[in-house]
Structures are given as C-alpha cells and as structure tokens.
Amino acid sequence: MSVKYSNEHEWIRVEGDVGTVGISQYAQEQLGDVVFVDVPQAGRKIAKGESVAVVESVKAASDIYTPASGEVTEGNAALADAPGDINADPMGKGWIFKVKLADPADLDGLMDQAAYDEFVKSLS
C-alpha cells in the first residue's frame, strides 16, 4: 500500500494490518540533527492522535502523534544507537514504530503523497 501522511508530518505505510510510522522528509529538515528518539514499547495500546514517541534535536523536542489506533508491535530499537537514521533516511531506516491497526478507517482522513506535497508547499 502507498504511504499516507498526517498534517503533523507523520507518515504511515500499511502492510496487511500493520502500519509502520515515521516522520516525513520535511519534518526531519525542520528538526535538524536528531539526537534522541523515545520509541514506544511493544504491547502498548495507543489511540489515534495520542503522543506516543518523542523525537529530539539539540534544541527542540517534538511529540509524535500516532495517525492510527491499535497496539504497538515494535519500536525501532536501532534508533537508540543511530538517531541520525531519521535525518538520513526518514522514510526507510528511520521508521519509529509499528502498530497493529485497530480500525483501518483511521487512515481515511490522511493525505496521499500528492496532497501532502501540496500541504508542505503551502507552509513555506
């Protein structure tokens, strides 16, 4: 399935009933060098819009809001040693957590790539 975006600059890519969540290229540029990521533990129940992770640069901390409800199946443990993956590869190695979706309809209000590109353009 293709990637969808929230207006808080999170992305979610769904395979089967599991969504992988991270932050967008635009968001990582705004943050600057990421120095620490607080990822959620597997098993945690999360609700759409809830702050479930924190991405920190030297001078800023950004809450990451889950774009969908469900149960966390995995947090990206590799970010502990390599938080810079979020800068280098935000849509790939820089993923933050995986969530087993409670309700696929959560994704309905999200933007597709084209809409998100427009949204980012409107911000500058």
Partner 1 sequence: MRYLPLTDADRREMLSVIGARSVDELFRDVPPSARLGAKVAGLPDHLGELEVERAFQAYAAKNVSPSVAPFFIGAGAYRHHVPSTVDYMIQRGEFLTSYTPYQPEVTQGTLQYLFEFQTQVTMLTGMEVANASMYDGSTGAAEAVLMANRVTRRHKALISGGLHPHYRSIIQTTAHWEGYQAAIGKADVEGLEDLIAGIDKETSCVVVQNPSFFGHVRDFGKLADACHAAGALLIVVVTEIVSLGLLKPPGEMGADIVVCEGQSIGNGLGFGGPYVGLFATREKYMRQMPGRLCGETVDADGKRGFVLTLSTREQHIRREKATSNICTNAGLCALAFTVHLTLLGEAGFKRLAEINHAKASTLADRLASVPGVQVANDSFFNEFTVRLAKPAAPVIEALAAKRILAGVPVSRLLPDDPSVADLLLLAATETATDDGMDALVAGLKEVL
Partner 2 sequence: MDRSQGRTGGIVSGGNPAPATFTGNRALQIEEPLIFEMGQPGRCGVDLPEPPPTRNDRLNGLRRLGEIGLPGLSEPQVVQHYTRLSQKNYAIDMGVYPLGSCTMKHNPRINEKVARFAGIGDLHPLQPVSTVQGALELIDRLAHWLKTLTGMPAVAMSPAAGAHGEMCGMMAIAAALEAKGERAQRRTVLAPESAHGTNPATAAALGFTVKPIPANEAGRVDLGALKAALGPDVAAIMLTNPNTCGLFESEIVEISSAVHAAGAYFYCDGANFNAIVGRVRPGDLGVDCMHINLHKTFSTPHGGGGPGAGPVVLSAALAPYAPYPWIVKNGDSWTIAEDGARVDGQPLGRLKAFHGQMGMFTRALAYIMSHGADGLKQASEDAVLSANYVMAALKDVMTPAFDGPCMHEALFDDGFLKDTGVSTLDFAKAMIDEGYHPMTMYFPLVVHGAMLIEPTESQAKEDLDLFIGALRSLAERATSGKAAEDFKAAPRFAPRRRLDETLAARKPVLRWRPSNSFKQAAE
Using CB under 8 A, list all residues that contact partner 2: 33, 35-36, 56-58, 83-84
Q: Which two tokens stand for residue 86?
A: 């979020």
| Rounded least distance, CB 80 to partner 1, Å | 11
Residue with Cβ nearer partner 2 (77 or 114): 77
Q: Which helix (H) or strand (E) holds 30?
A: helix 25-31
Runs of H (alpha helix) within 32-112: 85-88
Q: Which two tokens stand for residue 9?
A: 């600059």
Q: Is there a contact between 97 and 77 (Cβ–Cβ < 8 Å)? A: no
Q: Which two tokens stand for residue 41?
A: 């533990």
Of residues 28 through 67, those in contact with partner 1 by CB under 8 A are: 36, 38, 56-61
Residue with Cβ nearer partner 2 (21 or 34): 34
| Rounded least distance, CB 107 to partner 2, Å | 30
Residue with Cβ nearer partner 2 (34 or 99): 34
CA angle 74, 97, 69 (to 5 degrees): 95
**Binding at 80: pick from partner 1, partner 2, none (beta carbon under 5-8 Å per type):** none
Instruction: Identify the residue whose tokens are 């969808």.
Output: 4
The answer to whether residue 71 forms part of the interface with partner 1 (CB under 8 A) is no
The answer to whether residue 117 forms part of the interface with partner 1 (CB under 8 A) is no
Any idea what DSSP says for residue 105?
G
Q: Give the residues lining the site for partner 1 (CB under 8 A).
A: 36, 38, 56-61
